[in-house]
Amino acid sequence: MKKLKELRKQKSISQDKMAKYLGVSQRSYGYYESGERQPPIETLIHIADYFGVTIDYLVEHTPSNLSENRQKLLDKIQ
């Protein structure tokens, strides 16, 4: 999760401080940043809230074109 490391560094927060905030070990938090492990959804929510971002931003998710096409079709139907 590249974004996680970027956000933490922007706020000048150590991995240890973030780990303590989340109630996980520093090693676990390091794994989240490196992408070796994915945090549980509850942890993602806490991280997103802490940094004031969305979970989609953290995991670098963008809607697919299929979703956009569905929305356009729905808009036309209405």
Angle at which helix 26-34 crosses helix 15-22, to 10 degrees, equals 110
pLDDT band at 67 (very low <50, low <70, confident <90, very high): low
Do residues 50 and 29 make contact, with C-beta atoms less than 8 angstroms apart? no
Residue 40's nearest CA partner among 55, 51, 54, 52 is 55
> How far apart are the C-alpha atoms of 42 and 65, rounded to whole Å?
28
Model confidence pTM above 0.75: no
Averaged pLDDT, 35-57: 93
Do residues 47 and 4 make contact, with C-beta atoms less than 8 angstroms apart? yes
